[in-house]
Amino acid sequence: MSQGNPEEAGKIYEELCRMEQLTAAERGVALFGLGTCLFLHESYAAASLQLRESWELLIASLGMEDPLTTRTMVLLSRTLIALGDLESGMEIGRGALKNLVKLYGQDADQAATAAFFLSSGAYQFGRLAEAEELTLQALQAWEKIYGNVSLQAAACLDALGKLRNVCGEKREGTDFHRRAADIKMQVLGEHETTAASLGHIGMAEAELGNWKEAETLLASSLEQFDRLGVGKNAEGIAAFREKLNECRNMLAKEPTDE
């Protein structure tokens, strides 16, 4: 991507796409590159046009199950889901995932990554059982590749927690988030991501009425933010402080053992 610069890379791909002597496959690859740059720039509508044309050219020249065709399908699926075209995005994404499993195996990183992103589309579509199945598929593969203590596993656990919360299973959801936070602490140590996770779990424990546990988590989150030097600016800090005060007020009202 032109030394990590999507805008500069996009200009190069635009020039490539204007070349008349390209074969259909070469033009498809160039359009994929341009679509990728637009996707990274969050220009999803423009990206979808380039990626769809790329997909059509690659199908015609290389076939539906070719790795290049499949790679284009994955990104086109993500682009359409980002645009809110969930039905088309999910349909193309399922086809891409099927190809990836056939090409590389269900436990391959490519298949796991596609399954994880496809699960977010299923979640938005309200297909929670499918979202859970895809998330578990990604989790099982990533645990084999990266181990149980990895940010990939943590991302899946957070996604499973979100699903449980939506289903009204707040205790189970919070437990998934707690497992994810423990992994983040082991991998990242003190970090804004870890601190934010602890804060959100504290908020969830407070909602469940577990005031002492919530106080401990929220205090730990805020202390970590302060040590990182972002205690005043990080997103959610004010809400965490407010909830911490509420927890302490509720604990002060509880009867003490004599």
Tens-digit pLDDT profile for residues 119-149: 999 999 999 999 999 999 999 999 999 999 9
pLDDT value, residue 20: 86
Give me 209's structure tokens.
């009425």
Identify the sign of the CA torsion 161, 186, 212, 227: negative
Q: Residue 227 burial (CB < 10 Å; 0-12/13-18/19+)?
A: exposed
DSSP string, the chain: -TTT-HHHHHHHHHHHHT-TT--HHHHHHHHHHHHHHHHHTT-HHHHHHHHHHHHHHHHHHH-TTSHHHHHHHHHHHHHHHHTT-HHHHHHHHHHHHHHHHHHH-TTSHHHHHHHHHHHHHHHHTT-HHHHHHHHHHHHHHHHHHH-SSSHHHHHHHHHHHHHHHHTT-HHHHHHHHHHHHHHHHHHH-S-HHHHHHHHHHHHHHHHTT-HHHHHHHHHHHHHHHHHHT-TTTSTTHHHHHHHHHHHHHHHHHSPPP-
Alpha carbons 147 and 139: distance in angstroms, whole number: 10
Instruction: Report, as an integer, the average pLDDT of 224-236.
Output: 81
pLDDT for residue 174 is more than 90: yes
Which of 146, 147, 150, 116 is closest to 133 using CA atoms?
116
CA 19 to chain centre: 36
Residue 256 pLDDT grade (very low, low, confident, very high; cuts 50, 70, 90): low
Instruction: Report, as an integer, the average pLDDT of 18-23.
Output: 90
What value does the mean pLDDT of the chain take? 93
Q: pTM here?
A: 0.89
pLDDT for residue 1 is more than 80: no
8 Å CB contact between 103 and 70: yes
pLDDT value, residue 2: 43
Using N-to-C axis directions, what is the helix angle for 170-188 and 192-207, rounded to 10°? 160
| Percentage with pLDDT > 90 across the chain | 86
Residue-range domains of the chain with CATH: 1-104 (1.25.40.10)
Q: How far is CA 168 from CA 105, 171, 204, in A?
A: 34, 9, 12
8 Å CB contact between 90 and 81: yes
Alpha carbons 197 and 161: distance in angstroms, whole number: 12
8 Å CB contact between 54 and 33: no
8 Å CB contact between 156 and 142: yes
pLDDT for residue 255 is more than 80: no
pLDDT for residue 3 is more than 50: no
